[in-house]
Chain A
Amino acid sequence: MADEALFQFLHSELIQYIYKSGGSGETENGKRITKLETMGFRVGQGLIERFTKETPRFKDELDIMKFICKDFWTCLFKKQIDNLRTNHQGIYVLQDNSFRLLSQLSAGKQYLEHAPKYLAFTCGLVRGGLSDLGVKSVVTAEVAGMPACKFQVMIQKA
């Protein structure tokens, strides 16, 4: 369990670090979110390379999404995504009812305004992972009440 805790603490410290530097304001805030997302992207690329070493080749896009929801999520957060929905036109919604990186923060609406920065890295992880598997996407997250969380993946057709 130590590695898991380590990741969580490191993740929080990372956010703290990023948020301590630089000024304030709407654009600065956006830049920091982007920075976290970019970090996640690179980490996701590396991780997926490692996680998919043993898996058979993916059949299609949905197959890839299932992998993200099951294997990828389990490796990262010790649980699977609770619900995956799609419109079959390139939009996938991944719902995690108890997202590991939020579960320490609150159980409800307290600190809700801080949720985006705790999700940016993970959005990047998913986007990086998918990009490495050849799926270009935009990943956004949405929280109504912590620790539940929805990730929306919008596939960008080339």
Chain B
Amino acid sequence: MAGSQWELPPELCCRPMAFVALTGLDVTYNAVHRAIWDAFCANRRADRVPISFKVLPGDHEYPKCRTKRTSYEWYIPKGILKTGWMNKHLNLVPALVVLFYELDWDDPQWKEKQSECATKVEIVRTSLQGRNTKVAVVLIQKKTPLPPGEDLVASERASSLCNACDLSGKSLFVLPHTDHLVGYIIRLENAFYEHAQTYYYTEIRRVKSHKEFLNKTTHQLLFVRHQFKIAFFSELKQDTQNALKYYRTAYSLVHELRAHETNMLEIKTMAGFINYKICRLCFQHNTPLDAIAQFRKHIDLCKKKIGSAELAFEHTAWMSKQFQSFGELFDEAIKLGLTAIQTQNPGFYYQQAACYSQDRKLMAQQLCQAGAICPAPDPLDTPTRGLEFYGQRPWRQGHQSIDPPDAEKERTGILALQIKERDVPHSELIIALLSNAVAQFKKYKCPRMKSHLMVQMGEEYYHAKDYTKALKLLDYVMCDYRTERWWGLLTAILTTAVRCAYLMANIKDYMTYCMELLGRASTLKEEQKSRIEKNLFNVLKNEVPDPEPECEPSGASAAAALWKDCMALSGPEFSIEVQDYVPFIQCKARFLAPSFHVDQLIRLQVLLRVDCPHPVSFNKLSVSLSNQVYNQWCVLESSGQDKICLSPGETSCFSFNFVAKTQDVGKKIEMTGIELMLGSGRWVFLSWRGAGGDAASAHEALQASRLSRPRGHGTEAWQEGDWDSLTIQHSTMIISRIPKISVQLSHQPPALNNEMYCITLTVQSQEEGVARDVRLTAGLKPGQDANLSQATHVTLNGAQVCDASDPALLPDIPLGDLNPGDKVERCVYVRCVSTGPRVFLFHVAYSINTSVDGQEINCNCHKDETVTIETVEPFDVSAKFVSTKFEPLERVVVDVPFVLMTDLLSSSPWPLLLHSSSLQLVTMTTCVPQPQSQLEQVVLQTGECASECFCLQCPPNADGNGTVATGQYVISWKRESSSPDTPLVNTTVPLPHILLENVPLYIHAELPSFGRVRETLPVRYHIENRTALVQEVEMAVEPSDAFMFSGLKQVRLHILPGAEQQMLYNYYPLMAGYQSLPQLNISLPRCPATHTHTLRRFLPQRIFVKPQGRQLDDAFIAAA
């Protein structure tokens, strides 16, 4: 790359490491040596000492050491730092030379080998004459050494070898060639490292020692040089703290040098080098703020040191490089773990570097005349193909005085540099830097910074005539500026883009950019817009547009040729999606209502407005709808040559109407796109997705809505100035025609559980034509609790109680046709078998012919009625068991009659007709065969109660002791108001369970219904033995005040199993009124559990005793 003049030399940028030369190794042919060398080279990670090893032949010639100057008195330095110096100490002059020699302690030819080794050491020493470089010897041995001190031969021969080679004991090493090679090598290199450290230490001392000979007037350059050298040696010694200190001193010294035009470049070059070193070390020491501060100081100091005005581009190039290098250092530090922040990241430095490169390009364009020819001989050529000192001019090397030695040479030199600069691919450099910066800003969340850099990259590509790349970048960022509404910036980018498109003769892009530049987002002046509009119209006429201003003439003429070809070749039509731009024609479309009935005309408007300076005419406007059938109605085409014209700043409204298809009822119609055809000779379709709008319209509408200023009066009208608040209505619903029928329901709520509830539906047509095919769907409205559909049944047949097979919803019951004014009535029966509310739906649908806008259509209408009906229980039934004495029973004694009493309490708001009731008994039998229902034909009003009683008996064979079911009570009923043919509803009520009981002895008394004072009252007790055993019974009658009696007062008798014994007593009442009968005490010695009390319940306790009356009374009573 031609920028290499400004690249930092690699010897500066690398990390200095101690240089150790290895000799006596034959790495090509000797496998052992190869293994040793590999062990030195392999795995040089951070944990190994920083040494750079190099294998050199034993007779290698090291750079000659110049004879040391004894006095600086007459010495005038010719430059600050020699170009070869750093490399010399990195790669040429070793800190230590190690001689490898294969020799075992017990070698048979020890003497010979010892002297050979000494000779080799001598050769190396001679070559290093005058240097402080140390020499060490490593003996490669096949045998594993014995522990120190044990091998007496070894220590003796070692000291003799040291003597022979003039080595200190510390410089002789043994490398046994055994399994643990790497371990030995690491120990060896650690020892080498110590030697190297010592070497660099001496070197530093040596350089420092010169200081006393220097004077401030003539040796200023040397001050810098020496400080730099000390610092560099410190680095080699890995003493980075001191290195930093000396570099800092060197840096301040370099700025103390007297700067003038001839040495400016040298000073800046050295300052740049030292600055680089300082920053690098600061990052290495993890003090990035120091690095940044140093760099800022450096830039501030050097910014104004421009040097020769004719070579001003050199300064910007150098500045650019400074920023770039710092950015790279920063970036490298980040890779090693440093954290950067948004406002302090390498991107800024790359950006600034790019910025200086851009300046460089401008200056190069200004300073380097195109026509100049390179002078011969080339003043930039030097005999050695290089410079002796960094930063000097090739044509006057070593020259340090203020004025150039030869004005003519100076002139040609400058000219040569200018010519060279002309060939530098500036754009390439700039783009590379910018793209580095982009990567950084992306990383540190600076999207806008990134966009800006991408714009610059795009512009640079434009300058480099790579229009495709330029447009790609510009297109990409345009979007960001558009969404952020930075119109000024967008316009600037578009201006560049339109130039690119022009120069490439890319018709579509060219038109797209022109359209946006003419739009309301463009900040161009009116005359510029006029020019662009003229160009746009030219293209629409298939003519070549005028070149964009600021295009260079040669490019423009090439472009004109391209355009001619394009005009002839490319297809005459294409379409441009404008939705995502801010085009010069704005479009908003709307349906005039969010919904239309199918028998209405569907109306929509397309509103257009142009923002360019001159009127625009178009050929065709078409709207696409989600159902393409309608598209044919939404086209506006200019007839012949008359085009439709849009005037700037005015809103033009185009209305379309169409009739919806009846099958689209219930569907949504959406506008899917709008197309506007422009042109004559070349046709372009501007297309909007949906119902128009563009990248800016949403925000404009929002702003307009915030305005509290009064606006148009209705939604239909809009006012001229109020374009922004016009809202888009991109879709409309087609809904069914409003039905002109009435649907009435008559019924008597609530519904009673289980009944056939009758709802009478009356449909009357108010249509003007015949309503055909009227259909009714009736029943439970779908979407309610799922259980309800199991508990609801609907039928049209009211003569029969419906069952579970009847559905909850009866669909599509045909009702025939309805003439205008006709009425039809239907009864729908609903049976609800659970209580609670239900919603019922009555949906009447029909079809009718009608006309819309003169067009006959057949449309389906429907009307829905819903009604919520509550279902309640018609009555409550309660049942209880009592004894024949009407005393509540807890248990029923087997084979003893008892009474079942039922109460039926009406809770229906409507009177109920009870048709009959019956018992369905289990276990029990009735005492009376086929008892007739006592409730037959009873009408029960709300709150009234109907009771019945049944005498039942448990048959003797029933298994006593335990609960048994008694059966069910069935009531047949209906509403009193219902018609005679309405079926009866049977409601079955389960009867309660009852406990059965067996008694061993059953006793019952036979006595008249009343007694009379002083008249005999015969009472016969029947005692039955219900066991299979003979029972012994003890009976006694207790005396009573109210009665006298005759009969056995106390008796003991035996009753055979299943037999009955009768006891007759004649009671003789003494007092009138309710009297307690004399108590009968019975006991069963065999069944102690059965005693008087348990038996007494069967017996009457009291009797009514009439007073003694007259004859007449008796007759009367007898009659009763």
A residues at B contact (CB < 8 Å) = 38-39, 41-42
User: Which residues of B sit under 8 angstroms from A42, Cβ to Cβ?
Assistant: 706, 708
The 4 closest A-B pairs by CB, nearest first: A42-B708, A38-B708, A39-B708, A41-B708
Complex Cα gap A38–B708 (Å): 7
Q: Which residue of A lies closest to B705 (CB)?
A: A38
**Nearest CB of B to A90, in Å:** 22
Contact string, B704-731, partner A, CB cutoff 8 A, digits 1/0?
0010100000000000000000000000
> Min CB distance, B777 to chain A, in Å?
34
CA distance A42 to B708 in the complex (A): 8
Number of interface residues of B (CB under 8 A): 2
List the interface of chain B (C-beta within 8 A of A). Answer: 706, 708
Total A-B Cβ pairs within 8 A: 5
The minimal Cβ–Cβ distance linking B608 to chain A, given in whole angstroms, is 30
**Please, how many angstroms separate the alpha-carbon atoms of A39 and B708 in the complex?**
7
B935 to chain A, nearest CB (A): 55
Bound CA–CA A41/B708 (angstroms): 9
- Cβ of B708: which chain A residues have Cβ within 8 Å of it? 38-39, 41-42
Q: List 5 A-B contacts (CB under 8 A).
A: A38-B708, A39-B708, A41-B708, A42-B706, A42-B708
**How far does the alpha carbon of A38 sit from the alpha carbon of B711 in the complex, in Å?**
14
C-alpha gap A42/B709 in the complex (Å): 11
Cβ contacts under 8 Å, B706 to chain A: 42
Bound state CA distance, A42 and B706, in angstroms? 8
B859 shortest CB reach to chain A, Å: 30
CA distance A90 to B706 in the complex (A): 24
Quick one: closest A residue to B707, CB to CB? A42
Q: How far is the CA of A42 from the CA of B707 in the complex (A)?
A: 9
| Chain B residues near A39 (CB-CB < 8 A) | 708
User: Looking across the interface, which residue of chain B has its beta carbon closest to that of A43?
Assistant: B708
Complex: A139 Cα to B708 Cα, angstroms: 18
Using Cβ atoms and an 8 Å threshold, which residues of chain B touch A38? 708
CB distance from A133 to the nearest CB of B (A): 16
CB distance from A130 to the nearest CB of B (A): 14
Task: Report the Cα distance A39→B707, complex, angstroms.
Answer: 10
- A39–B710 alpha-carbon span in the complex (Å): 12
Specify the chain B residue showing the minimal Cβ separation from A35. Answer: B708
Give complex CA distance A142, B332 in Å. 63
CB contacts (< 8 Å) of A41 on chain B: these are 708
* Chain A residue, CB-CB nearest to B710: A35
Distance, CA A41 to CA B706, complexed state (A) = 9
CB distance from A35 to the nearest CB of B (A): 9
The smallest beta-carbon distance between A22 and chain B, in angstroms, is: 12
Measured CA separation A20–B708 after assembly (Å): 19
A38 to B707: give the CA distance in the assembly, Å.
9
- What distance in Å separates the Cβ of B706 from its nearest Cβ neighbour in chain A? 8
Interchain nearest-CB distance for B709 vs A (Å): 10
| B1088 CB to nearest chain A CB (Å) | 75
B892 to chain A, nearest CB (A): 63
State the Cβ distance, B725 to closest chain A Cβ, in Å.
14
- How long is the Cα–Cα vector from A41 to B705 in the complex, in angstroms? 12
User: Smallest Cβ distance from A134 to chain B, in angstroms?
Assistant: 15
Q: How far is the CA of A8 from the CA of B708 in the complex (A)?
A: 22
Kindly state the separation between the CA atoms of A10 and B708 in the bound complex, as whole angstroms: 19
Name A124's closest neighbour in chain B (CB-CB): B708
B708 to chain A, nearest CB (A): 5
B978 to chain A, nearest CB (A): 44
A64 to B334: give the CA distance in the assembly, Å.
39
List the B residue with the shortest CB-CB distance to A128.
B706
Query: Taking CB as reference atom, which chain B residue is nearest A42?
Result: B708
A131's nearest neighbour on chain B, judged by CB, is B706
B1108 to chain A, nearest CB (A): 80
Nearest Cβ distance between residue A138 and chain B, in whole angstroms? 15
- Chain B nearest CB from A128 CB (Å) reads 10
A77 to chain B, nearest CB (A): 23
Name the CB-closest residue of B to A39.
B708
B1010 vs chain A, min Cβ distance (A)? 73
| Shortest beta-carbon distance from A125 to chain B in Å | 13
